[in-house]
Chains A and B, each alone.
Chain A
Amino acid sequence: MLSEAAVNEIKDIRKRYATARSCIMPCLYVVQKEYGYITEDGMREIAKILGVKPVLVFEVSTFYTMYNKKPVGRYHVQVCTNISCSIMDGEHIVDVISRKLGVKVKETTPDKKFTLSTVECLGSCGTAPMMQINDKYYENLNDTKVEEILNSLR
């Protein structure tokens, strides 16, 4: 069950939008914040509060990559492997992190602290290679920097 605060947040969001369908995306963020990822129950709760069919919530959540459909670690490490970052050896950054954390892409460390993902362009091409950990950007990466960043989060 969503907390009362989360339910109220969804109701508040609803007031800002003309139609119930329009506000599904921000509501999904509320559920993600609450559970750490998008649960089926959470989506059903959104549908119930908004008075829409659950399928409308499901279709939105599965379309977008920023909604985690599976649990992720406390730190979600997303490394850009799109063109600019690849030219600057973003794939190598993925390898460095993978080795350091002992997980492959899309995997989570056993202590549930880190999940490693690759992402498409995050609009940080001038400072490639880059990664995003939770909401924060880390730019102009190299082996030493990655090492330091991950150590600081341990």
Chain B
Amino acid sequence: MFEPVILKNINIPDSFKLSAYINSGGYQALKKALEMTPDALIQMVKDSGLRGRGGAGFSTGLKWSFIPKDATLQKYLCCNADEGEPGTFKDRAIIEYDPHQLVEGMIIASYAIGADTSYIYIRGEFAFGADRLEAAIKEAYQKNYLGKNILGSKFNHDMSTGVQGRIYAERRPPSSNLLKGEGHCPVSSRRFLPMWVSSENLQ
């Protein structure tokens, strides 16, 4: 038998609420991260062996390290919650039952790469999950895990969701939409995407 790691809290009563998340050690990692420098944080994530869940299992720390360090550049973090490939159902449980885990992870990643704004791109059919995420983001703002000077640090961060819909045959669809500054992607307005989307200029 395997031991649940990411989904270990989803059966706790009210697991989606901030109180339950805090009780299981939530937002402690954020506190710890904010006391580190972004570089040290990225190194730590690299050393931990943490990998992406998208299928390629790419090193998370390495991915974060690709973001240019230039502090004058505007950076965004985009979370793809458009899960819908047939047979794929690894993200919905997190979104619906442990949304703060996603929110906290995104704040930490944003701190590491120096992004002051992040978007969660969720598919239109996940209305229930979108509500849960929006409620979690609201709670996080109330406790200053989001907003200005997070937990007394100099780090500011804003997060929001965009409820979208499926997009066919698009490579990295969420970012392509952000790149165009649009919340959708009709076939007629596709654009060519760069190989390394992590450093594409959004302007």
Contacts and interface: CB of A to CB of B under 8 A. Distances in A.
> Are these two chains actual partners, yes or no?
yes
Interface of A: 16-19, 21-26, 29, 59-60, 63-66, 82-84, 119-126, 132, 135-137
A122 B165 CA distance: 11
Given A60-B186, A82-B86, A137-B128, A124 B181 contact: no
Interface stretch (B39-47, B102-110, B119-127, B193-201): B119-127
Contact of A120 (B84, B91, B184, B188): B84
Nearest to A134: B127
A76 to B, nearest CB: 12
A29 B164 CA distance: 11
B37 interface: no
Nearest to A66: B124
B85 interface: yes
Given A59-B186, A64-B165, A119 B125 contact: yes
A25 B163 contact: yes
Nearest to A58: B186
B1 interface: no
Nearest to A86: B86
Given A22-B183, A135-B128, A66 B87 contact: no
B89 interface: yes
B162 interface: yes
Contacts of B127: 135
Nearest to A29: B163
Contacts of B56: none
A136 B128 contact: yes
B160 A63 contact: no
A25 to B, nearest CB: 5
Interface string B73-87: 000000000011111
**Chain B interface size range:** 20 to 34
B125 A66 contact: yes
Contact of B86 (A18, A29, A63, A121): A121
B166 A24 contact: no
Given A122-B125, A135-B128, A136-B128, A25 B183 contact: yes
A66 B167 CA distance: 12
B128 A123 contact: no
Contacts of A26: 162-163, 183
Contacts of B160: 16
Contacts of B124: 25, 64, 66
A66 B165 CA distance: 8
Contacts of B128: 135-137
Contacts of B125: 66, 119, 122-123, 132
A120 B125 CA distance: 10
